[in-house]
């Protein structure tokens, strides 16, 4: 199965309002669509990434630096091809961009392999389950948003079919954000999964203070509680001082970074993002490492990818999504055959590869010039 052509397309969809976490603001959604053409007429069709401004740079890396390494090669030899691409990250450069570009190509290779064999990626990676619980990412900071608004938001998410919600914290004081979480629990009810995500927003003492204030609300996990500069040691300290499980990993760009978190005893769950960190090949290395240390796997966003990955392993947890089309129009509109959500569960697509049928009219409408 020889590779004939590799193409990448960056798209950007503007949002009608701004969504804010503890240290960021989002006013558009971007991604990169990757297609690999191989012998026999096979074509991959995937999209990766939550990139807000550098999609075109990723496209240039894919087409100018990675594609020449792949043309004419056997698409089934994924580990060999990954090693060739990874060498591009060795020179002194922005390695995160390179790992995102590798992720685009690697994901397309797994899609191609699944299509050539007639099985989905979950089956290729182990095929542990066929359904997963799905939770929303919501509870953002917005001007004028009250705790009563947060409670109603959780009610709406239940009505939409979500099993739970990951709520944004870390942008206010521990006390103020604890009040927001209390409102979310009141609106959601006791049987709704509730996690919190500080996006590295707090000092260690503030993270511990917040955790102790919200322990009584049955929090599934506390994600990225501490500032970036010494977060492994800081999270390990928070983990020792609270009963809430600690989650991190989305900011790592290799499985070696996951190893650092696990070795520091800083995490109970890892939400390593295949689209940010080298693709499926690197994600499965991180998943194997976590399995050996009793650490569960989550995944940062990217439901079109995480569905296949988390369902493949016995320590996979929840698919994350943005059910609000205003927050993430790509999940709402880009996939023409998106699986249905029922009673908090989503079925894993069984079509070959990732099983995606993309809306090419939307892609053409929002594609960026190279």
Question: What local confidence, expressed as pLDDT, does residue 370 receive?
Answer: 81
Q: Considering the domain boundaries, does residue 353 fall inside one?
A: no
Q: Considering the domain boundaries, does residue 83 fall inside one?
A: yes
The answer to whether residues 162 and 198 belong to one domain is yes
Backbone angles phi, psi at 252, to 5 degrees: -85, 145
Q: Considering the domain boundaries, does residue 223 fall inside one?
A: yes
Mean pLDDT of 286-308: 97
DSSP string, 17-55: EEEE-SS-EEEEEEEEEEEEEEGGG-B--EEE---SS-H
Cβ neighbors of 247 (< 8 A, separation 6 or more) are: 195, 221, 222, 223, 224, 267, 268, 269, 270, 271, 298
Across 1-10, 47-56, 139-148, 280-289, least confident range: 47-56
Q: Among candidates 141, 142, 197, which has minimal Cα distance to 165?
A: 197
The answer to whether residues 169 and 65 belong to one domain is no
Q: Considering the domain boundaries, does residue 230 fall inside one?
A: yes
Question: What local confidence, expressed as pLDDT, does residue 50 receive?
Answer: 77
The answer to whether residues 103 and 187 belong to one domain is no
Helices 204-214 and 174-188: angle between axes, nearest 10 degrees: 30
Percent of the chain with pLDDT over 90: 90
Assess whether pLDDT exceeds 80 at residue 77.
yes
The answer to whether residues 208 and 70 belong to one domain is no
Across 19-28, 188-197, 250-259, 323-332, least confident range: 19-28
Q: Considering the domain boundaries, does residue 69 fall inside one?
A: yes
CATH number at residue 56: 3.30.390.10
Mean pLDDT of 155-180: 97
Question: What local confidence, expressed as pLDDT, does residue 251 receive?
Answer: 96
Percent of the chain with pLDDT over 70: 99
User: How high is the mean pLDDT of the chain?
Assistant: 95
Confidence of residue 53 (pLDDT cuts 50, 70, 90): confident
The answer to whether residues 250 and 143 belong to one domain is yes
Backbone angles phi, psi at 124, to 5 degrees: -60, -35
Question: What local confidence, expressed as pLDDT, does residue 68 receive?
Answer: 98
The pLDDT tens digits of the residues spanning 353-366 come to 999 999 999 999 99
Assess whether pLDDT exceeds 80 at residue 26.
no
Centroid of chain to Cα 140: 17
Question: What local confidence, expressed as pLDDT, does residue 155 receive?
Answer: 97
Question: What local confidence, expressed as pLDDT, does residue 52 receive?
Answer: 67
Tell me the chain's radius of gyration from C-alpha atoms. Answer: 20
Mean pLDDT of 102-116: 98
Mean pLDDT of 338-353: 95
DSSP string, 214-271: HGGG--S-EES-B-GGGHHHHHHHHHHH-SS-EEE-TT-SSHHHHHHHHHTT--SEE-
Mean pLDDT of 178-205: 97
The answer to whether residues 73 and 213 belong to one domain is no
Q: Which pTM was predicted?
A: 0.95
The answer to whether residues 168 and 295 belong to one domain is yes
Q: Would you call 170 exposed, middle or buried from its count of C-beta atoms within 10 A (0-12, 13-18, 19+)? A: buried
Cβ atoms < 10 Å from Cβ of 8? 26
Q: Considering the domain boundaries, does residue 352 fall inside one?
A: no
Helices 303-310 and 280-292: angle between axes, nearest 10 degrees: 40
Bridge partners (DSSP) of residue 36 are: 6
Number of folded domains in the chain?
2
Mean pLDDT of 189-195: 97
The answer to whether residues 70 and 160 belong to one domain is no
Across 24-33, 100-109, 191-200, 305-314, least confident range: 24-33
Backbone angles phi, psi at 318, to 5 degrees: -120, 140
CA distances from 165 to 69, 86, 135, 141, 202 (A): 42, 35, 5, 15, 21
The answer to whether residues 65 and 208 belong to one domain is no
Assess whether pLDDT exceeds 90 at residue 296.
yes
Structural domain including 89 reads: 3-118+358-366
The answer to whether residues 302 and 343 belong to one domain is yes
The answer to whether residues 296 and 193 belong to one domain is yes
CATH number at residue 253: 3.20.20.120
Q: Considering the domain boundaries, does residue 86 fall inside one?
A: yes
Question: What local confidence, expressed as pLDDT, does residue 324 receive?
Answer: 84
Q: Considering the domain boundaries, does residue 10 fall inside one?
A: yes
Euclidean distance between CA atoms 249 and 251, whole angstroms: 5
Strand blocks (E) in 39-163: 46-48, 131-138
Question: Which has more pLDDT, 362 or 18?
Answer: 362
Assess whether pLDDT exceeds 90 at residue 257.
yes
The answer to whether residues 173 and 198 belong to one domain is yes
Question: What local confidence, expressed as pLDDT, does residue 37 receive?
Answer: 97
Assess whether pLDDT exceeds 70 at residue 116.
yes
């Amino acid at each position: 199965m020889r590779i004939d052509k590799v193409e990448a397309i960056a798209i950007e969809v503007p949002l009608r309002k701004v969504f804010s976490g503890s240290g960021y603001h989002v006013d558009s959604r971007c991604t990169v669509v990757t297609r690999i053409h191989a012998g026999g007429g096979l074509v991959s069709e995937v999209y990766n990434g939550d990139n807000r401004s550098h999609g075109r740079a990723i496209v240039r890396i894919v087409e100018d630096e990675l594609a020449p390494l792949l043309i004419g090669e056997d698409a089934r030899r994924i580990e060999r091809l990954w090693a060739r691409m990874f060498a591009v990250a060795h020179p002194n450069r922005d390695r995160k961009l390179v790992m995102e570009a590798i992720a685009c190509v690697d994901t397309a290779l797994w899609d191609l392999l699944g299509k050539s064999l007639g099985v989905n990626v979950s089956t290729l990676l182990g095929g542990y389950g066929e359904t997963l619980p799905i939770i929303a990412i919501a509870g953002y900071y917005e001007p004028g948003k009250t705790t009563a608004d947060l409670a109603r938001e959780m009610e709406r998410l239940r009505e939409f079919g979500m099993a739970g919600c990951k709520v944004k914290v870390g942008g206010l004081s521990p006390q103020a954000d604890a009040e927001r979480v209390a409102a979310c629990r009141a609106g959601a009810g006791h049987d709704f999964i509730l996690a919190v995500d500080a996006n590295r927003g707090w000092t260690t003492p503030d993270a511990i203070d917040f955790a102790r204030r919200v322990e009584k609300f049955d929090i599934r996990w506390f994600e990225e509680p501490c500032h970036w500069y010494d977060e492994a040691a800081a999270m390990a300290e928070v983990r020792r001082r609270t009963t809430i499980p600690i989650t991190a990993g989305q900011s790592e760009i290799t499985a070696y970074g996951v190893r650092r978190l696990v070795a520091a005893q800083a995490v109970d769950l890892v939400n390593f993002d295949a689209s940010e960190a080298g693709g499926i090949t690197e994600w499965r290395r991180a998943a194997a490492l976590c399995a050996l240390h009793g650490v569960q796997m989550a995944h940062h966003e990217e439901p079109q990818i995480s569905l296949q990955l988390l369902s493949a392993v016995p320590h996979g947890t929840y698919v994350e999504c943005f059910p609000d089309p205003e927050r993430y129009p790509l999940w709402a509109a880009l996939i023409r055959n998106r699986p249905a959500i029922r009673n908090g569960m989503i079925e894993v697509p069984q079509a070959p590869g990732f099983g995606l049928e993309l809306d090419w009219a939307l892609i053409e409408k929002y594609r960026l010039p190279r």
